[in-house]
Amino acid sequence: MALDNQFLLILISGLFTALAASLLGAFIVVKRMALVGDVLSHVALPGIGLALMLSIDPIYGAAVFLLAAAFGTWLIEKKTALPPEAIIGTFFTATLALGVLLVPNEELFESLFGNLFAIKKLDAVIIIAASSMIFFLTLLLSRRLTLSIAAPDLSKSAGFRPDFSYLAFLLLFALSVALGIKLIGSVLMGALTILPAVSARNFAWSLKSFLVFSIIFGFIMTFIGILISAVFNFPPGPAVILTGIIFFIISLFFKK
Amino acid sequence: MEQEKNNKNHENHKHSKIEHTGPILEVRDLSVSFGKEEILKDVSFSVNDGDFLAIIGPNGAGKTVLFRALMDFILYDGEIKWRAGVKIGYVPQKLMEKAELPLTVKEFFSLKSKNLFFKDKQIANSAVHELKSIDIDSDILNRQLVNLSRGELQRVLIAWAILGHPQILLFDEPTAGIDIAGEESVYNMLHKLQDERGMTIIMISHDLNVVYRYANNVLCLNKERLCYGEPEHALTNEQIKRLYGENAFYHHLH
C-alpha cells in the first residue's frame, strides 16, 4: 500500500466529500428524490466537457451546470405541478447525451466513475473547505427542511418559507455532487449520497439518530472503500460504492 | 412563533389590509379559482374576539380552500383583513404519511423553533406545557409520529398549533378515523382553550351536533355562502337540506 501524499489527499478529500453528501442524502431519501439526485448528477457531464475544452478545472464546469440544473428543477417544480422526477427525467437525461458528445472519449468513462483527475493539494483544500461549508449549511437548514418535507402547510403557518429551504437544499446538493466529480465520479456521487442514508434509515428511531448514523456510515464506507482502492489499486469511486452496498445489506438485518 | 400578518405587499389580486380595532378577521367577497374552476365565490363573514365560528358544508364545498386563503397560502380575489399582529395557529386535517421520516414528537415540536438548532430544551418545555394544557401525557414526546394513532396525532397537531400562544386557531376537523370518545374530548379541549385563553376558534366541522353545542356562529358553505349567523337561527332544516341534499339530512342530525 502506497501511503504517499496522493493517497492521503484522496483519503481526506474523500472523507469530507462523504460527510457533506451523506448528510444531504438523508434528506434526499426522506424527500423521495433518490432517483432525482442520481439523474441530476448527469448534468455535470456537459459541464465537465466544456471545462476540459476551455482547459479550466472540471469541478467548476460541473458546479455551474449542476447549480443551474438545481435552480431550474426548483423553478419548474414551483411553476408547474410536475413532480421533480418527471422534470429531471425528461430534461436532464438529455444532458447526458450532450455530455457524451462534449467529453473526450478517454475522459468520459472516468468523469462518470471517478479517478480521472489526480487530486492536487489545492483541490483537496477546495474540497475540504467547500464540503465543510455544505455540511454546516445543511445542518443549519435541517429543521426548516424537515418541516417543509413533513408538512409544507405547517411550515408556512409557522411563518417559514418551505420553497426557499428546498431551493437552498437543491443548490447545496448540486455543489456536493460537483465536489465529488474528480474522486468518485458524477454517476457514483448519487450512490454515495443515498447509500449511507438508506442504511441509516434501517437503524434510526429519530431524526437525530438518522442524521448521525447517515454521517457515520458515509464516513466509514468511504474510509474503507478508499483503503481498499489503494491496496488493490482500484479506482476509489467503485470501491467506496461497493463497500456502501455491503453496509446496506448488513443494515437490512437490523431493520426493526 | 406563529405566522404574523404584516403589511407586506401582496401579489396581484390581493388586498389585505391591517386594522387595529374591530373584528379579529373580516372577509369580504372572497373568491378563489383554480384555473377555470371556481372554488369559492363572494364569501363574506367576520370573526370577533372569543368567537367560535363553525364552517360546515358538503365535501368539496371549498372549506379547506377557504382556510388556505385565510392563511395566505393561495391567491384569491376579494379582501381578507386580519387584525394587526394577530398570531394564527393551524391544525390541518392530517399530516401526509411520511413513513420514511423518522421524526419523534419532540423533534416535531422543535421544528417550530425559530432557532436553527440547539435550544431544544426550551421548546421541549413549552411543548410539555402545551401537551399538559390539553391533557396529553408528555410520554408521547419520545414516540415516533408515524406510530401515533389518528386521535393522538390530532392532539399533537393541536398542541403544535397552540405552541407560542396564537390568538386564533384554525381547526380543520378530520372527516373520519377518530372515535366518538376521542372527538368528544377534542371539542372539550377546544372549549377549554377558548375559556382559559380567550382563544378565537374557526373550525371546519362535519358534525352538526357540535355546531349547535359549541359554535356561536356558523357559516354554511357550498362554493357560496348559503347561511351565516347564530346556529339556532341560521341552521334551519331548510338550510341543512339545501346544504347536504335531502338524503344526507337524515345522517347529519342524529
Per-residue pLDDT of chain B (254 residues; tens, 9 = 90+): 444 444 343 333 444 444 456 899 999 999 999 888 899 999 999 999 989 999 998 888 899 999 999 999 999 999 999 998 899 999 998 887 777 889 999 999 989 887 766 667 777 788 888 888 777 888 898 999 989 888 888 889 999 999 888 999 999 987 666 666 667 778 888 888 888 888 999 999 888 888 888 889 999 999 888 889 888 888 877 778 888 876 554 444 44
Q: Tell which A residues from 120 to 179 touch B, by Cβ distance under 8 Å.
A: 139-144, 146-147, 149-151, 153-154, 156-159
Alpha-carbon distance A133 to A137, whole Å?
6
Average pLDDT over residues A76-87: 77
Residues of B in contact with A158 (CB under 8 A): 1-3, 112
Q: Inter-chain contact A206–B104, Cβ cutoff 8 Å? A: yes
Which residues touch A256 (CB under 8 Å, ≥6 apart)? none
More confident residue, A80 or B79: B79
What's the pLDDT at A117?
59
Q: Is any Cβ of chain B less than 8 angstroms from the Cβ of A205?
A: yes
Q: Inter-chain contact A146–B103, Cβ cutoff 8 Å? A: yes
* Residues in a beta bridge with B53: B202, B217
User: What percentage of residues in chain A have a pLDDT greater than 70?
Assistant: 95
Q: Is any Cβ of chain A less than 8 angstroms from the Cβ of B244?
A: no
Alpha-carbon distance B232 to B219, whole Å?
12
A132 pLDDT more than 90:
yes
* Amino acid code (one letter) for A104: P
A187 pLDDT more than 80:
no
Tell me how far CA of residue B244 lies from CA of B43, B60, B208, B210, B233, in angstroms.
18, 11, 11, 16, 18
Q: Is any Cβ of chain A less than 8 angstroms from the Cβ of B93?
A: no
Alpha-carbon distance B179 to B202, whole Å?
22
Alpha-carbon distance A121 to A172, whole Å?
23
ipTM: 0.85
Helix H or strand E encompassing B87: strand B87-91
Does the domain made of A5-252 have the CATH classification 1.10.40.30?
Answer: no
More confident residue, B235 or A12: A12
Alpha-carbon distance B208 to B214, whole Å?
10
Average pLDDT over residues A138-151: 92
Phi/psi of residue B224, nearest 5 degrees: -110, 165
Q: Is any Cβ of chain B less than 8 angstroms from the Cβ of A210?
A: yes
Contact between B199 and B170 (Cβ < 8 Å) = no
Residue linked to cell 480521472: A116
What's the pLDDT at B68?
93
C-alpha distance from B59 to closest chain A C-alpha (Å): 20
Average pLDDT over residues A26-37: 85
Alpha-carbon distance B32 to B39, whole Å?
6
Helix H or strand E encompassing A231: helix A207-232
Three cell numbers written together for A214: 447517515
What's the pLDDT at A95?
80
Tell me how far CA of residue A22 lies from CA of A186, B8, B52, B141, in angstroms.
15, 38, 48, 27
Fold (topology level) of B8-87+168-174+202-254: Rossmann fold (3.40.50)
Q: Residue A32's pLDDT band (boundaries 50, 70, 90)?
A: confident
What's the pLDDT at B4?
45
More confident residue, A222 or B96: A222
Residue linked to cell 405566522: B3
Contact between A46 and A92 (Cβ < 8 Å) = no
A36 pLDDT more than 70:
yes
What's the pLDDT at B117?
66
- Domain chopping of chain B, boundaries: 8-87+168-174+202-254, 89-165
What's the pLDDT at B119?
65
